[in-house]
Structure 1
Amino acid sequence: MMGTGKSTVGTLLAAETGHELVDLDLEIQRKAGSTIPDIFANKGEAFFREMENAVLREVLQRDRVIVATGGGCVLKAENCKEMAANGWVVSLKADAESIISRVGDDPNRPLLAGGVRERVMRLLDERKGAYDFAHCTVDTTGKSAADVASEILMHYRV
């Protein structure tokens, strides 16, 4: 889910492990030559999700990468299967209030346009169970990014 710390924690994990961090949203923007809000506005969410799927498959073929996906990447069952088959998947979660305070009024989050609180609550409800395929789930509520990264590494090494 957005606002759970994927990019921040991923950066720490990459530094700790020596792996490359690939932020999937940034990779999509690079390939599209456009921002995510522009992709949503000009080509629609369906186009974005197809591009997300293609870029994810490509990135998962690389060695020694940590991939920070967008929270909606799990909406396509094929993506979940690809991630589970090609890596060790961690799901980060947080309570609604933490997510709302972290994402604020970020204009780069087109799914939150029109009311952050209502949209976050709706997305949390719509995505219940969508992240259950992950090998490990870590709640980031009230934890520092460093603590979350340490917890992930502890689970991974076990």
Structure 2
Amino acid sequence: MGAGKSTIGRLLSHELKLAFTDVDREVEERAGANIPWIFDVEGEEGFRQREAQVIDELTLQDGLVIATGGGAVIRAENRACLQSRGTVIYLMTSVEQQLERTAKDKNRPLLQADNPKHVLEQLIEKREPFYLSTSDIVVKTDRRHPKNVVNEIIRQLKRKELIN
């Protein structure tokens, strides 16, 4: 959350001349409702089911840069789709940076709590092992301009011979 997935995904797709899709936006579009509403009505499980369906469908397509939500990795089926059908990039960021970037965003149901910092710390503790085991590339985003992050991603993709 707040790592810059959508911003960096858009920039990366532009540089690679690929289409860009944000899983959260796709879920909202298909549901005809925003994520907080989905969480309120269907709970996190309902949202995660919708998210898994979108990830499964999108990862079957070629020529896409996909930004997933931060919680997508908690489901084994999502990790399997992502790993087997593409290159996974983990945008690593600190809790402090996440707090800064999400402070005024009311569209993040998991952070609508008395202590968002504690929530983020718990989420990273639970999710980071999945991020690390699923990703092909890890890039730190703290205090970095998105274009610099994209340039580093492209360098790593070339080094790993994942692009020309």
Is the TM value for this pair above 0.5?
Answer: yes
Q: Does 1:116 align with 2:116?
A: yes
Could you tell me how far apart the structure 1 residues matched to 2:150 and 2:112 are?
30
Q: What are the equivalent positions in structure 2 for 1:1-158 lying under 5 Å apart? A: 2-114=1-113, 115-132=115-132, 133-158=134-159
Displacement after TM superposition at 1:144 (Å): 0.7
When the two chains are superposed, the root-mean-square deviation of aligned CA atoms in Å is: 0.9
Could you tell me how far apart the structure 2 residues matched to 1:79 and 1:86 are?
11
Displacement after TM superposition at 1:128 (Å): 2.9
Displacement after TM superposition at 1:70 (Å): 0.2
Displacement after TM superposition at 1:88 (Å): 0.5
Check whether the contact 1:105–1:116 (CA below 8 A) recurs between aligned residues: no
Q: Post-superposition, which runs of at least 4 consecutive aligned residues in structure 1 deviate over 4 A?
A: none
Spell out, residue by residue over 1:114-150, the C-alpha distance to the aligned partner (whole angstroms, 9 max, x if none).
1322211221122231201200110101211000000
Displacement after TM superposition at 1:49 (Å): 0.5
Displacement after TM superposition at 1:105 (Å): 3.0
Query: Which residue is 2:162 aligned to?
Result: none
Structure 1 stretches lacking a partner, 5+ long: none
Query: Structure 1-normalised TM-score?
Result: 0.96
Single out whichever of 126-135 and 19-28 deviates more from structure 2.
Answer: 126-135
Could you tell me how far apart the structure 1 residues matched to 2:130 and 2:147 are?
25
Single out whichever of 24-33 and 125-134 deviates more from structure 2.
Answer: 125-134
Displacement after TM superposition at 1:89 (Å): 0.5
Q: Percent identity?
A: 35
Could you tell me how far apart the structure 2 residues matched to 1:109 and 1:8 are?
16
Could you tell me how far apart the structure 2 residues matched to 1:3 and 1:79 are?
20
Could you tell me how far apart the structure 2 residues matched to 1:146 and 1:116 are?
28
Are the structure 2 counterparts of residues 66 and 89 from structure 1 closer, same or farther at C-alpha, using a change threshold of 3 Å? Answer: same
Could you tell me how far apart the structure 2 residues matched to 1:89 and 1:101 are?
25
Query: Structure 2-normalised TM-score?
Result: 0.93
